[in-house]
């Protein structure tokens, strides 16, 4: 009876060990891939947000420029049934309605300034991420890491 129980014990231990090793070979690499994908997802999300905000600013500036251009074009078109004095008052009214539109030079310098800010934020983000990965790899490979087994001497 004890020989049969011992044989079954070793059979169960062998099956358990083989199943554990097989699942370990599948799960650990998939967890690593999942970790890398999650990190890339965060980085791509930040980059997407920066690009969207930049595109939104460019769109708003282009709307301002196009409104100014349309006002100038509309001022050149004479009204069909109005006198020239009425035309001048119409020009003044349009300028008041649009408000103080920024000049193209101001928009261009502002765009350069914003692009420099975005470039510095992106380089800071990349430097921070590289620094985090570098310090994490140094920590994992160091002798002070509590997870890394210390060699017995």
pLDDT over 60 at 99, yes or no = no
Confidence of residue 142 (pLDDT cuts 50, 70, 90): low
Q: What is the pLDDT of residue 56?
A: 87
Q: What's the total number of domains in the chain? A: 1
* CB 115 within 8 Å of CB 121: no
48 compared with 111, residue with greater pLDDT: 48
Q: Where does the chain have alpha helices with state H?
A: 2-76, 84-98, 104-141
69 compared with 100, residue with greater pLDDT: 69
Mean pLDDT of 54-72: 83
Q: Rounded distance, CA 125 to CA 121, Å? A: 6
Distance between first and last Cα of the chain? 45
Domain encompassing residue 95: 2-75+91-139
Question: Is 146 within the bounds of a domain?
Answer: no
Mean pLDDT of 22-47: 91
* CB 110 within 8 Å of CB 118: no
* CB 90 within 8 Å of CB 79: yes
**Global pTM exceeds 0.95:** no
Count of other CB atoms within 10 angstroms of residue 95? 14
Question: Is 150 within the bounds of a domain?
Answer: no
Question: Is 16 within the bounds of a domain?
Answer: yes
Question: Is 151 within the bounds of a domain?
Answer: no
Confidence of residue 135 (pLDDT cuts 50, 70, 90): low
Question: Is 85 within the bounds of a domain?
Answer: no
Confidence of residue 9 (pLDDT cuts 50, 70, 90): very high
Look over the chain and give the mean of its residue pLDDT values, rounded to a whole number.
75
Share of the chain above pLDDT 90, in %: 20
């Amino acid at each position: 009876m004890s020989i049969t129980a011992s044989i079954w014990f070793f059979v169960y231990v062998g099956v358990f060990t083989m199943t554990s090793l097989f699942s370990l070979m599948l799960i650990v690499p998939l967890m690593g891939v999942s970790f890398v994908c999650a990190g890339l997802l965060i980085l791509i999300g930040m980059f997407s947000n920066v690009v969207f905000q930049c595109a939104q600013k460019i769109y708003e500036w282009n709307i301002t420029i196009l409104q100014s251009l349309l006002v100038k074009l509309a001022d050149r078109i004479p009204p069909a049934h109005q006198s020239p004095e009425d035309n001048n008052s119409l020009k003044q009214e349009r300028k008041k309605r649009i408000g103080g539109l920024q000049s193209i030079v101001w928009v261009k310098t502002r765009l350069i300034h914003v692009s420099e800010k975005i470039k510095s934020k992106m380089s800071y983000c990349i430097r921070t991420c590289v620094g985090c990965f570098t310090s994490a790899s140094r920590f994992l490979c160091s002798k002070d890491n509590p997870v890394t087994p210390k060699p017995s001497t």
